[in-house]
Each structure stands twice: as structure tokens, then as C-alpha cells.
Structure 1
Amino acid sequence: MLIPLALPGFALAAIAYLGFALLLGIKGAPSGTGRLFLVAVSVEAMWATTVAAAMAGLPVPVLLVSLAEAARLFFWILFLLSLLRAMGAGDASAPDSAQRAASGGMVAAATIAAGAVAVELFAFGERPAFIVHVIGAVFALVCLEQVYRNTGPDGRWALKFLAIGLLALFGFDLFMYSEALLFSRMNPALWSVRGYANALLVPLLGIAAARNDQWKTGITVSRQVVFHSATLFAAGLFLMLMAVGGYLLRWFGGDWGEAAQALFVFITVVALMVALFSGSLRARLRVLLAKHFFRYRYDYRAEWLRLTELLSEAPAGSVPGQTSRSAPQPPAASPQGRPGRNAETPPPQGSELLEIRALQGLARLVESPGAALWLSGDDGAYVCNARWVFHAETPVVPGADPLAAFLRSTQWVVSLPEWREHPQRYDGLALPAQIASEQQNWLIVPLMLHDQLLGFALLAKPLVPVTVDWEVRDALKAAARQVASYLAVRRAVESLVQARQFDSFNRMSAFVVHDLKNLVAQLTLLMANAARHRDNPEFQQDMLDTVENVLGRMQGLLMQLRAGARPIEPPGPVPLVAALEVALRSRRGSGPEPTLEVAPELQHAAVLAHRDRLERVIGHLVQNAAEATPPDGRISMRVQREGSNARIEVEDTGKGMSERFIREQLFKPFESTKDHGMGIGAFESRDYVRELGGSLEVESSEGAGSLFRIRLPLALATANG
């Protein structure tokens, strides 16, 4: 009843081995062993074709089938003996013995093959034929064992899959013919699946051919081809088993056989679809193939090109003002990299898209489902700039944090599971609590630019277990350096664009200075005539009109500049309270009016600054607070001493700012949320305070107001007093 199943199996084996033989023969075999391997594969294809033709009812003589079976056995044994002789020739201690053993084996193989033909030719019966085939299978297995035993540990990697394939091939024959000898008849079930079993061994022989430079024929098997071929092979094997199972259910199921077969086919098809669409299963298959079918886990050329292409697809719009119309958007990432984008949230653009693609490239190397990226800021701290399907907390890591110092000095990839189990391997490294406590956090990968730590990536635990060995660490470090170079280039381009914007700003200042010179000339002339015409009503009216006109024009110029030219003289002592009172006077009569609290010891203090620029900085902070605060709100100014510094705080109860706005826009030049703003005030204020050796910090949250904190060094006399 199972004989009809045998014909497709032998036909499949004939097609598989014929295709394999054609692939082997495209460029020719480089050695005698390689040529014998090609002949053995070709004879295997001829044998399967002959058996399939006989089972299809074609007029194929029984003797021809026996000849094909004998030739198949003979040439496989001949190939194994050729391998054994090559090993003996490479061993100077016993070349003669290896030659004699190989020659004796060839004689034995020829004798066994001739015996198989003679039994059929002279009609000795089935039992003698079974005995000869059992002897042939045993002899082939002995030859295979000798080849594998005499291969060194390094060479076994190349012969492993050949040994597995031929062990399965001759082991199946030994079992089938031994059972036939025991029961004096061939088992129909074993004969029916013999063709399928031989066809399934072609991938193993193909991998063996690709691994052996001495006798392969220029075959290279890429990981993508192996992955897709293995997937199709597994699916085909599954469908074949499904067909056999359905056939058996229908045959033995009686009245319920047809219904059971239909239900079985439905269930197995659904199971196959679930398996094919399973990301976890695909990840397991990739890891299995990389671990067991290749010398190295990664195809470095393919991985390098893939990562380069992925990063290059990010738009050149990592620079403000540039966009990309071709780069696809990464899935499931919000502006902060969080999953769950809705229709109202714009897709990531520019530098954020590049950062998300960088995370995808690193995560793909180790089958990680999510990642987050920390990059260094202007203050040296590392802030999470992007997330990709990452849900854990992302704290700010100061530049002096032990994690940053460790990554900077060692450039190691930190495995969090290993760090938890063996902290001594990382010299007792202390990690931020939010990163260490999350069990889904897996690897910390430093982004090194030469000896500079540009940032680091945190990868989530993969879908399947991945061993973090030397190869994984090296691949991640190499990919991280490439990512760091892309991010550094993006920063350099942004700095260049800002420099060009400043250059344009300076050119514009030249025209403004020219206008100011004209205004000064008007006022100079007015003052020169004032002494003589001060009592003339017409002159008084003309003077008022001129002053009003000059005032309007100067306000227009100030609206464009919002900051003056930097003085070249060094900073000097500036009375602090006097500078603050200038800002207070500018808001009198306009709500809300600021309040001022000065610590008693700082009533007569002075700070090292330039008076006009310090007044402009404080006035800018007060003006921003007033614009963000409703008329019934509150603006508070406080001055306290902090060591050798004066701490100036400007706090309001206005609408506040988001953490992202503070990080990405507040101090970025030429970006403003105001209709007539140029986005220079906050940038210039912080830049000037840093120039004086101080600092400007901001604390804010949306709907709860803002607090700007300036620290400036006190003048020496005040600091000592």
C-alpha cells in the first residue's frame, strides 16, 4: 500500500542529486578527491533515476537497477578511500601503510560491487543479495569511521556534515537490508521512504563541499541562501510528513478516515503558517545555522554592507533644513523612541531617524527586539536621545558616572546577566539603579570615536538565547564604531551649518552697524543744536519727533540682533544688586512685576562680568519669564551665596517647558518659538555665563513654571569679605 509513495521520493532524490552534480561540475573539480566526489554524486543521481523509472513502469531491466545500486556503493567507498589516502599522504610517518590500506579497500569495494551484480545476474535469490548489501553497507561505514578517526580536531569541522550525511545514508541501507535478511523480505515502508531519506541528505553534502577547499568546486553558500533554503527545506519536510500522516489517517480511519484527514490537514497547515510567521522561530533558526553550519557566526561583509546601507538611508536631514523623500520610517517608534505612535504624532525626522536606524542596526546583530541610545551633551552628561521599541527607564548618566568612566577606559561590551552573576569580571562596576534593576536590559555597547566615548547603546534581551562570546563582542564593537562615526559626522555638519548661520548673522550685523551710525549722527546733531534752540517750541517738537523716530528704528534693530557685539576688555567687578534692579525697572507698570530677595551678605556684592552684557542676560531671563507667565502669575528673583559664587535664581509660575524642549531646542541657536524671535537669547546667555566661568541651569515642567539658575564667581574682595 505504501509503494506508490516511493516513486515521488526517488524522483525527488534524482532531481536533488542531479542539480547538486551540475552545481559541482560548473567549474570543475580542483583535485582527484573532488572529482571522485562529483562522480559519486552523479552516480547517486543515476541510481535514483533508474529506480524511479523502474517504479514508474518503464522497461528498465532488473540487472540495470542492480548495476546502479552496486555502482552507487562502489563510488562512495572509493571516495572515502581517496580521502583516507590523502590523509596518509599528508602524514610523513606512515604514507606506505595508508597507500596499502587504500589499495586493499579498493579491491574489497570492487569485490563487493561485483558480488552484488553476480547475485542478481545468476539469480542466487534474495537472501544472498541481502547479505552482499549488508556487507557493503558495513564496509562503507568502516571506511567512514577510519576517515573520521584519522582526521585531526581541526579537520573534523570540515568533514562533520559529510560524516553525518554518509552515516545516515549507509546506516539506513544497513538497517533496511538487515531487517530484510532477518525476515526474508523487503519492508515496503522502508523502501518507500528510502528516496526521501537520500534526498534529505543533499544539504549536508552541500555544506561539506563548501567547507572543504581541497575538493570543493568553487561553491560558496551565503547565510541568506542557507537560511531561506533551510526554511523551505523544513517546510517541505513538514508538508511531506503531513501528507504521509493524512494518508495513514485516511487508510486506517475507517468511516471517519476522510473527515480525520481533512481536520488533520487543516490543523497542520495552520501550524505551518504560525511557524513561518514566528519571529522567535526565525531568530532561533538564524542562531542555529550561524552556530552549526559556518565557521564564523557572522557574514562580516554582508553585515557591514547592511549596516552601512541602513545608516545611509537616514536622510541627510540630520542637518536642520534638509529632508529625505525616500527614506522609510522605522516601525513602532515615537518621537522619544517609544512604541505606540498615533496618527497625531509626527514620524521621526533628521538626526532622530539616524539614531533610530543606528539602534536597529546594532540590535539586528544579536536578535535584540529593542534598544535605547545615550549621547553626550554639551555639559558632558549622557542623555537618552532615542528609543526603538524600548520600555525601560532611561536615566541621565553624568560624565563622571562609573559606567561612563568604565566604558571610556575599557571599551568593553557590558553583559548585564554576566555582571549580575560575576561582578568581579567588571572590577566591581556600579551601574545606575534604573539600568541595573530592569531584567530586560541585556547589553551595554559603547560608541567609541577614537578614544572618545560619544555615547552608548542599551540593548534589550533577545527573543532567543544568544551566547555573548568574543565574536559577538567584536562584531558589536565594530558596528558601534561605525555608528559613532556616522553620528560624529552628523554633529560636525550641524556645527558647520551653525557656523555658516553665524557668518550670515555677522554679515547682517554690518548693515545694522551702518544704520546705528546714521542714528547716532542724528542724535549728535540734535544735541549740538539743543543748547541754542532749547526754548524754541518748534525745535522741541522736532526733537521729540526725531527721538521717537530713532527709538523706533533702534527697537527694530534690537529685534533683529537681540545681542550686541562681544567686548574685548576683560570682565570686572559689577555691582550685582544694581544689575538686577535694571531688570526690575524694565518691568515696572507691567504685570506681573518681579520681586527681588537678596541675601544680607550680598547686598553690596559684585561679580566679575561686563555690566551691559550681564544686565542683558538677566533682562532676557526676566523678559522670558514675563512672556510665559499670565498677569496674575508670579516672578521671583533670589540671590544667595554658594561658596565663592553668587547664585541668581529667576523663577516663574508660567506654562513651563518639556524636558525634550529644554534638551533639544531651548539653547539651540536660531531656533525660536516666538514669532519675531531669532533664537539667540538663551544660547547667548548661557554662552556668556560659561565664558565668565559660571553656569546656567534650568528646571521646568509643563504647566508648573520654570526656574533658571545662574552661578557667577564673586569679585575677590567680596568673596574674601
Structure 2
Amino acid sequence: MIGVAQTWDMIGLVSAIGCAAACSVAAIWLTRRPLAWRRERITGLAALCLTALWAGVLAALGPQSLATAAAEAVRNLSWLALLHALFAGGVDRETAQRVGFVIASLIFVELLQGVVLAAVFMLDAPPAFSVSALHVSALLRMLVAIGALVLLHNLYTGASHQDRAGTRWVALSLSALWVFELNHYAVTWFSGEIPGQIAAIRGLVVGFAFVPLAMALGADVRRLQFRASRKVAFRSLSLLLIGAYLIAMAGLARLLPLIEADGARLAQVGFLVALLTVMALWLPSNRFRAWAKVTAQKHLFSHRYDYRAEWLRLADTIARGVDEGDALQLRIPKAMADITESPSAALFLADSDGALVLAEAWRWPTLADEAPVLPSQITAFLSSRDYVIDLEQWRKGKSAAGAAELLPAWLDQSSTAWAIVPLRHFDRLQGAVLLARPLIDRQLDWEDFDLLTVVGRQLASYLAEQASQRALMEAARFDEFNRRMAFVLHDIKNLASQLSLLSHNAQRHGDNPAFHADMLKTLQTSSGKLNALIRRLGRYGSGRETQLESFDVARMVRDIPGRFGPLHRIDVACAGPCVVMGDPEGLEQALVHLVQNAIDASPLEAPVCVAVREGASEAILEIVDVGEGMDAAFVRDKLFAAFVSSKSDGFGIGAMEARDLVRAMGGRLEVQSRVGLGTRFTIRLPLAEPDRTSQNTLTQEAA
């Protein structure tokens, strides 16, 4: 009576013979196909022949034979060669070389089988060593199977949509072969012996799998195109490394018990401690991940950047921002930093004087505290040339920007500043992005310069578009304001005319001289104020010449408290007379605006301080309050913008008008403010010439 073992042996024999016959028939059929002898067809034919040879040896000598193991190794090498031919066909040389590197690694692992086989059959080793060798052999075969499956996945997903129909059967056949081999050797590794039932049907599975493979190779697959992205390549490499790691750990776990008891225990504990230490230090480290990525890009790719992925990420960052509601000024440095993997970045924008001042800092709090301005040498160079400044080279005097002057602390050798990227739109400098040094320091090269320059132009177009949109909105609001002011001016003019007529009639027909004298004074004052208001409102939307004259600004400042009465305390500090050249009426109006704003922002019991002092060539007026203060973004973007006010009932033109009035007389208005501390407005006006004794007029166009 035939036992179970003999039954499975008979099934194994039949399946091996059937596999040899099926592969032989498929090879003959493939040779008769009227197609060109391309690389994948030649390697496929070789794989069919060598698989048939392996099946014949398996049927004749059994699975335990050295010749069967050697034939299986040659068969696996032919399958890997077919994989390489499929990947290399129809792709560029660079892609074929990258895939060839991975396949060469798998071939090397397969060749290690020869060492294991030689050790088993040539050495008179004890049974325990033979069992360990079987485990090692199974682990090596599992590693080859895992690597082959990863490459097959890339073959199918990387093929174009049109070519997937031609690769479907090839990928399916080879996947079935390697999945079966992986399960076969996984069971071998776990059980410590070759599984008889699975080994018996190996020939049957391989024979069936090679039928669709031969049919696919007999079709026209010349248009097969493999397009592997960097993400797929990195994931494939990661899977290979993980598979190698797991197999290596499993192999070491099997080999350690072979050492004598005390040494094995000590080796296991030491290895576990070392492994946990390395994992704790390296795996969570951003620096380690950055190093791994840079190393892979250096040795696996001819280009550092995946331009499609970088451009998609740039568009996503600009469209959505870091967090919901982020301003464009914050999204721009973040988008630029993502490209170079810089941990922080800062955006500098051109102000009204052409200087590049800090607008926004992304993950760079120390830079924001210093509120820096880019050196004028850098600004002048970027204004004349679209060039990315490598600060390392610039500090050494090797940059095209020229020799470096004395740099501020946040740009010198000890800082993390790495590169400055200009943002130019139609040859106009919109700003610049300062990038911090990446976690893995490297030298900027031509690829960085090209990509950052193009991205800088794109980001500059976003800034220019935003500025244009703001200008259009402001122009529309100004137009509405002018239309409203036309009606206001008309009504005020009529009221001033009525008051003038009333004053004239009261002077002629009054019965009570004392009463009517007082009434006359009041009406004349009101009429004068209304006419002055009309003149001031007339400045909006029309140019006028500013008449400059010399006057004592200290006397004007001493009269300020009387303008506001006892409702709020105003402290005045004047060392003595201070004669300036300016427009008294315009300066008085500017001071009233600024002092009123300071009163509105201050607590009721907190005084507002107004001080005048004389500098070397200018008079300095300071209006200081200890109110709520303003943040840097409000001062930069909204304080001097029309119709933007921090007060619920404010019109939003007082600060803007004060600045324009001061500029019209050749002065400057500066502001310093901190939230929770207060605000200091500083007016700087030119001093009058000492020998000027008469009024001197100077005309200039009001801003």
C-alpha cells in the first residue's frame, strides 16, 4: 500500500516533469514567433530553458540534491535577468542603471547560495550546522523574492496607461512565481525542514505561471515604457532595506543559539542594547533622515530635484499655506524652504525707500526679534542682477556679488544664514528670501541656482499680483471717498458763507455792543475754522504747492495741550526755541492727528508726552504714549494705508495724512511700537538756516 509520503513524492515527480515539458513547449513556441529578437525576448527564452532544466533535474534527482539546488540558483538568476531586461527596455540609460543596481544586489544575494551549498556538501558538519545552513539559505531566498516582488510592482505601476495591457500578464506571471517561492522558503525557515507538500507542487505552479509569461513575451512589447518616480524608487529601496533587516535579524536569532549558553546570552543582550540605542538615536532624527535622502540623491539620481514633485508642492503651499489663514508673506518663505529642506526662512520686501526690510520670518524667531534690514550692498546687487547669493562663497569673496563688507551678526560666519534668493518681477526687485542652512550642510550648485531663480520669479509674480490687487481696491475706495467729499465740501462751503454773512450783519445792526462783540468774535472764529477745514479737505485728490517758512516749532508744541483741554494730560518737553523750515499749518494738522491718536490709544490716567529737541541738522519731535501699541505687521501693512484703522469709529486716513504732510515739507515720519508697551512717533524736520531773517518760500509737490 502506498503511503502519504510516497503519494506526495509521486505528485512532485509528475509536476516537475509537467513543468519541464510546459517550459520546453513554451520555449519552442517563442522561437517560432515572427518577432524581432529583442533583449526581453532573449532573456525570456533563456529563463524558459533554464526553468525547464531545473524541473528536469528536480524530477530526476529530487529536492535534496546538490545539482537541484545549483539548478535552482541558475533558474533564479535567469528570472532576475528577465526582470532587468523588462526594466531596461524602452527606458533611458540612467533609469536602467538605477534598476540594474538593485538587481545586481539581488544577484549577489543569490550567489551567496553557492557559499552555503559548498559549506554543506563539502564540510563534514554536524546535523545542527546543516539545519542552520538551511535556515540561512531560506533567508537568502526570501530576500531575493521580496526584492523581485518590489521591482515587479514598480514595473507595473511605472508603466504608462497604454502599456499596462502589455505588462499585465508578465507582471502577473512573475509575481505568482516569486510569491510562491517566498511562501515556500518562509515555511522552510519556520519549520526547519523543506515542506514536502509545497515542494511537490512547485513544478505545477511554475509550469502554469510560465504559460501566460511566454504568451506575453511573444506579443509586441516594444512600446513598454517604465517611468519610475523618485518616490517609488525611495519606497522600493526602503522596502528592500526593511526586508534585509528583518532577514538579518532572523538569521542572527537563529545563529546565536549555536554559541555556548553563557556567550549566547551575553551576545543576545548586547545586541539588543546596541540595536535599541541606534534606533533611539537615528530613527527619530531629522538629521539622519536628511543625510539618507541627500546620500540617495547623490548616488542614485543624476538630478537632485524631482521637478514635477517640487512644483506641485510649491503650488500646494502657496494655495493653502502652512496653516489655515496664513498670509502670502508667510507662505512664500515656507515654500522656498521646502525646496532646499531649510529648517527656517525669512522674507524681505522692498519699502518706499528701496531697502529690503524683514516682512515675515518662518520658524526663525531670533531673526524676527532683531528686525533686520538687508545690507545695502546686497540690495543693490540684487536690484541689478537676477542672481542667487551663496553666502558661504560671498563671505570668502568668491561670489559674483563681489567682496563682502562687514556683515551684521545675523549674516556672518557664525549664523545659520545660507543663501539669499531674489524675487524679481519684470526686472523689478520685489523682495528676497533668506534661507537657513539645511540640517545636512552642502554646497549650492547649478541645479540649486537654476531652480531657486525660477521659483523666485514665480513667487515675485504672486507678490506683484497681490500689490496690484491692493492698489486697485485702494483706488476704488479713494474714488468713493472723493465722491463723498465733494458733497461734504459743498455743504461746508455753504455753511461758511452763511456764517460770514451772519457775522457781517451782526456787526452792522447789533444793539448790545458787549454781547454782539462777543458773538462777533465767536462767529469769526468759527468761520475761520470752517474755511481752514475746506482748505485742508481740498488737499485730497488735488495737488498744491506747499509754502515753506521758518518758524519756532517749540512754541507750536507748547500750544498743543490747550487744543485738547483738560480732558487728557499732555506733557510737553522743550529745551528752548527750535526754528525749522516747514509749513506751520500742515505741521500743526499732523501734530493734532498724532496726538489725538495717542490719546485714543492711551488709558485715561496715562499722559501723552510731546518733546522737541534739536539735532545736528534737524529738529526732532516725538509723540509718545503708553497705550496698547501695534504689532509689526500692522505698522508695515496697515498703519499708513487709507481706510484702515485700529479704532472702530476711525476713518483710517489720519496717520497717512500726517506722513504726507511731513514729507511735503521735506521731513520724515518714523514709528516704533510694541504691543502692550506703547508707540513712539518721531517727526524729523530740517532746521532753518541761521542767517535767514525773512520768509523763504520753497515749493514742492505734495505727496
What's the TM-score bracket when you normalise by the shorter of the two chains?
A: 0.5 to 0.7
Partner residue of 1:695?
668
Displacement after TM superposition at 1:375 (Å): 1.3
Q: Could you say if the C-alpha distance between residues 688 and 375 of structure 1 is closer, same or farther in structure 2, counting changes exceeding 3 Å?
A: same
Partner residue of 2:357?
383
Distance, in Å, in 1 between the alignment partners of 2:374 and 2:416 is: 24
Displacement after TM superposition at 1:516 (Å): 0.8
Determine which of 429, 432, 435 is the counterpart of 1:453: 429
Between stretches 368-377 and 116-125, larger displacement belongs to 116-125
User: What TM-score, normalized by structure 2, do the two folds share?
Assistant: 0.67
Between stretches 414-423 and 535-544, larger displacement belongs to 535-544
Partner residue of 1:361?
335
1:341-420 equivalences in 2 (<5 Å): 353-393=327-367, 401-420=376-395
Residue 522 (structure 2) pairs with residue 570 (structure 1): no
Contact 1:130 1:178 in 2 (8 A): no
Partner residue of 2:225?
218
Partner residue of 1:592?
570
Contact 1:164 1:204 in 2 (8 A): no
Distance, in Å, in 2 between the alignment partners of 1:136 and 1:628 is: 86
Q: Could you say if the C-alpha distance between residues 536 and 580 of structure 1 is closer, same or farther in structure 2, counting changes exceeding 3 Å?
A: same
Secondary structure at 1:328's aligned position in 2?
coil
Q: Could you say if the C-alpha distance between residues 291 and 525 of structure 1 is closer, same or farther in structure 2, counting changes exceeding 3 Å?
A: same
Displacement after TM superposition at 1:126 (Å): 4.5
Partner residue of 2:419?
443
Distance, in Å, in 1 between the alignment partners of 2:648 and 2:664 is: 29
Distance, in Å, in 2 between the alignment partners of 1:235 and 1:62 is: 38
Q: Could you say if the C-alpha distance between residues 133 and 383 of structure 1 is closer, same or farther in structure 2, counting changes exceeding 3 Å?
A: same
Distance, in Å, in 1 between the alignment partners of 2:280 and 2:240 is: 15
Determine which of 615, 620, 632 is the counterpart of 1:649: 620
Partner residue of 1:492?
468
Provide structure 1 residue ranges, at least 5 long, that are not aligned to the other structure: 1-53, 88-101, 315-326, 330-348
Displacement after TM superposition at 1:683 (Å): 1.1
For residues 271-301 of structure 1, the C-alpha deviation after alignment (integer angstroms, 9 at most, x for no partner) is 7798765544444444345444445333323
Partner residue of 1:522?
498
Distance, in Å, in 2 between the alignment partners of 1:552 and 1:524 is: 9
For residues 29-54 of structure 1, the C-alpha deviation after alignment (integer angstroms, 9 at most, x for no partner) is xxxxxxxxxxxxxxxxxxxxxxxxx9
Q: Could you say if the C-alpha distance between residues 705 and 597 of structure 1 is closer, same or farther in structure 2, counting changes exceeding 3 Å?
A: farther
Q: Could you say if the C-alpha distance between residues 513 and 490 of structure 1 is closer, same or farther in structure 2, counting changes exceeding 3 Å?
A: same
Secondary structure at 1:201's aligned position in 2?
helix
For residues 164-217 of structure 1, the C-alpha deviation after alignment (integer angstroms, 9 at most, x for no partner) is 344344444444236535653684244312431322433457768969999672
Displacement after TM superposition at 1:86 (Å): 6.7
Displacement after TM superposition at 1:64 (Å): 1.9
Distance, in Å, in 2 between the alignment partners of 1:398 and 1:168 is: 53
For residues 644-683 of structure 1, the C-alpha deviation after alignment (integer angstroms, 9 at most, x for no partner) is xxx2321355427567254344433333345654232221
Secondary structure at 1:648's aligned position in 2?
strand
Residue 113 (structure 2) pairs with residue 176 (structure 1): yes
Partner residue of 1:300?
307
Partner residue of 1:637?
612
Secondary structure at 2:570's aligned position in 1?
coil
Distance, in Å, in 2 between the alignment partners of 1:237 and 1:281 is: 19
What RMSD, in angstroms, separates the aligned Cα atoms of the two structures? 5.5
Distance, in Å, in 1 between the alignment partners of 2:371 and 2:590 is: 28
Between stretches 224-233 and 518-527, larger displacement belongs to 224-233
Partner residue of 1:191?
137
Contact 2:23 2:52 in 1 (8 A): no
Displacement after TM superposition at 1:623 (Å): 5.2
For residues 589-625 of structure 1, the C-alpha deviation after alignment (integer angstroms, 9 at most, x for no partner) is 75536354566xx75x754x5x533432344445556
Partner residue of 2:11?
59
Distance, in Å, in 1 between the alignment partners of 2:666 and 2:366 is: 37
For residues 623-657 of structure 1, the C-alpha deviation after alignment (integer angstroms, 9 at most, x for no partner) is 55677787777532245672xxxx23213554275
**What percentage of aligned pairs have identical amino acids?**
29
Distance, in Å, in 1 between the alignment partners of 2:413 and 2:657 is: 40
Displacement after TM superposition at 1:428 (Å): 1.8
Displacement after TM superposition at 1:402 (Å): 1.0
Determine which of 323, 331, 345 is the counterpart of 1:328: 323
Contact 2:16 2:59 in 1 (8 A): no
Distance, in Å, in 1 between the alignment partners of 2:435 and 2:23 is: 56
Query: Residue 622 of structure 2 aligns to which amino acid in structure 1?
Result: E
Contact 1:519 1:550 in 2 (8 A): no
Q: Could you say if the C-alpha distance between residues 678 and 135 of structure 1 is closer, same or farther in structure 2, counting changes exceeding 3 Å?
A: closer
Contact 1:689 1:712 in 2 (8 A): no
Displacement after TM superposition at 1:373 (Å): 1.5
Secondary structure at 2:511's aligned position in 1?
coil
Contact 1:658 1:700 in 2 (8 A): yes
Q: Could you say if the C-alpha distance between residues 283 and 108 of structure 1 is closer, same or farther in structure 2, counting changes exceeding 3 Å?
A: closer
Distance, in Å, in 1 between the alignment partners of 2:12 and 2:135 is: 23
Query: Residue 594 of structure 1 aligns to which amino acid in structure 2?
Result: V
Q: Could you say if the C-alpha distance between residues 626 and 651 of structure 1 is closer, same or farther in structure 2, counting changes exceeding 3 Å?
A: farther
Distance, in Å, in 2 between the alignment partners of 1:355 and 1:649 is: 33
Secondary structure at 2:412's aligned position in 1?
helix
Query: Residue 366 of structure 1 aligns to which amino acid in structure 2?
Result: T
Determine which of 94, 101, 109 is the counterpart of 1:164: 101
Secondary structure at 1:180's aligned position in 2?
helix
Distance, in Å, in 1 between the alignment partners of 2:543 and 2:17 is: 102
Distance, in Å, in 2 between the alignment partners of 1:282 and 1:65 is: 51
Secondary structure at 1:60's aligned position in 2?
helix
Between stretches 158-167 and 385-394, larger displacement belongs to 158-167
Q: Could you say if the C-alpha distance between residues 482 and 391 of structure 1 is closer, same or farther in structure 2, counting changes exceeding 3 Å?
A: same
Partner residue of 2:196?
none
Displacement after TM superposition at 1:509 (Å): 1.2
Partner residue of 2:590?
617
Displacement after TM superposition at 1:112 (Å): 7.4
Q: Could you say if the C-alpha distance between residues 514 and 376 of structure 1 is closer, same or farther in structure 2, counting changes exceeding 3 Å?
A: same
Contact 2:258 2:264 in 1 (8 A): yes
Between stretches 197-206 and 213-222, larger displacement belongs to 213-222
Contact 1:161 1:204 in 2 (8 A): no
Distance, in Å, in 2 between the alignment partners of 1:583 and 1:566 is: 29
Distance, in Å, in 1 between the alignment partners of 2:575 and 2:138 is: 98
Partner residue of 1:40?
none
Distance, in Å, in 2 between the alignment partners of 1:266 and 1:369 is: 32
Query: Residue 680 of structure 1 aligns to which amino acid in structure 2?
Result: I
Displacement after TM superposition at 1:137 (Å): 9.5
Contact 1:158 1:211 in 2 (8 A): no
Partner residue of 1:669?
642
Distance, in Å, in 2 between the alignment partners of 1:569 and 1:131 is: 100
1:500-539 equivalences in 2 (<5 Å): 500-536=476-512
Distance, in Å, in 1 between the alignment partners of 2:540 and 2:70 is: 105
Contact 1:562 1:681 in 2 (8 A): no
Distance, in Å, in 1 between the alignment partners of 2:348 and 2:415 is: 19
Q: Could you say if the C-alpha distance between residues 263 and 480 of structure 1 is closer, same or farther in structure 2, counting changes exceeding 3 Å?
A: same
Secondary structure at 2:358's aligned position in 1?
strand
Distance, in Å, in 2 between the alignment partners of 1:516 and 1:572 is: 25
Query: Residue 417 of structure 2 aligns to which amino acid in structure 1?
Result: N
Q: Could you say if the C-alpha distance between residues 592 and 174 of structure 1 is closer, same or farther in structure 2, counting changes exceeding 3 Å?
A: closer
Distance, in Å, in 1 between the alignment partners of 2:693 and 2:377 is: 34
Distance, in Å, in 2 between the alignment partners of 1:260 and 1:286 is: 32
Partner residue of 1:429?
404
Q: Could you say if the C-alpha distance between residues 500 and 631 of structure 1 is closer, same or farther in structure 2, counting changes exceeding 3 Å?
A: same
Provide structure 2 residue ranges, at least 5 long, that are not aligned to the other structure: 1-5, 123-129, 164-220, 697-703
